[in-house]
Chains A and B, each alone.
Chain A
């Protein structure tokens, strides 16, 4: 009876169900949204039958290589055509070092966080974690060879390399 006395303009909508639903949606999107995917650039990978299903290990560095050779790690360009070189290439000493930024990133941002393993044959401690190279299928392979050369530099020595490939269309389509 008291409600009748209120003016018609004060019709209040009950917001509770809407808020409930909105929260539910937010929680759904938080769960579904995989932040690790942010590291993957938009590339067309080649297809390989033996591409083992990739369960990404924690903190594995991912290098994206575009078809012009540009190397991207976590949205940062570590090499691009026309990068200003710094110092000398440690392997071909007469050439300037175009991959100094990649080498520096490996030394500073990757290797300190990798597990190390002692190699008896070499009497050295080497990083034991892999890196993943994700290259476009049209990337000239010499750009990937360059990355491997940087990996084998004396102050880097990463030796586990994974190459990204898509699973065959028929296999993924059947799932």
Chain B
């Protein structure tokens, strides 16, 4: 009799079922919400700190204005590489036949945005590099003036070259366009 009573005390087993239920629920939640870290880079730039009209005397310094205009807007076409996966509409489209006109001082030239090198960068920017030679990289301020119709990708393409040429003071011109 005594041995039977002992066994009853020892064999109290907690019911594992609810815990396993919750555990599975958590597992499924984490599997569903899983999103692997995407590799992204960034380009640093600064906005002008002062605002309004400044009364301070500014010494006349050499500066570079890069004006980006659209010569031919091109047509939006699904990207052939990712056409099958273009789930959110328009996201993976690119502009076919798009031509930009980039002006640096008196130098003006065209850039085809659909001519890409093996890295996916604009292949046409050697003339921009050429027109940026001969300036003091540390001191010369560079202003990117994007005009009507220019998209983010165009500006990044030009900005990339400016930063690659080691210019440090890069800023952006304001917009004249209405909303």
Contact = CB atoms under 8 A, between A and B. Distances in A.
Interface in B90-112: 90-95
Contact of A52 (B41, B159, B178): B41
Interface in B147-179: 148-157, 159-160, 163-164, 172-175, 177-179
Given A145-B172, A159-B48, A138 B26 contact: no
Given A29-B27, A42-B88, A162-B42, A48 B154 contact: no
B35 A50 contact: no
A148 B172 contact: yes
A146 B33 contact: no
A53 B41 contact: yes
Nearest to A32: B34
A163 B155 CA distance: 10
B8 interface: no
B40 interface: yes
Given A22-B24, A122-B50, A152-B48, A165 B178 contact: no
B9 interface: no
Contacts of B119: 47, 49, 168-171
B133 interface: no
Given A19-B23, A26-B30, A141 B41 contact: no
A168 B177 CA distance: 32
Given A54-B42, A159-B47, A162-B43, A47 B178 contact: no
B151 to A, nearest CB: 5
A136 B179 CA distance: 18
B76 A160 contact: no
Given A145-B174, A146-B175, A170 B118 contact: yes
B130 interface: no
A48 B41 contact: yes
Given A44-B91, A50-B160, A145 B146 contact: yes
Interface string A131-142: 010111111111
Contact of A22 (B20, B50, B94): B20
Given A22-B23, A34-B37, A95-B179, 19 more contacts: A29-B27, A33-B30, A33-B34, A42-B91, A44-B92, A51-B42, A54-B40, A121-B49, A130-B44, A136-B152, A137-B151, A141-B146, A148-B174, A149-B175, A152-B48, A157-B51, A165-B43, A167-B41, A169-B119
Interface of B: 16, 19-20, 23-24, 26-27, 30-31, 33-51, 76, 88, 90-95, 118-121, 146, 148-157, 159-160, 163-164, 172-175, 177-179
The 4 closest A-B pairs by CB, nearest first: A51-B41, A137-B153, A29-B30, A168-B119
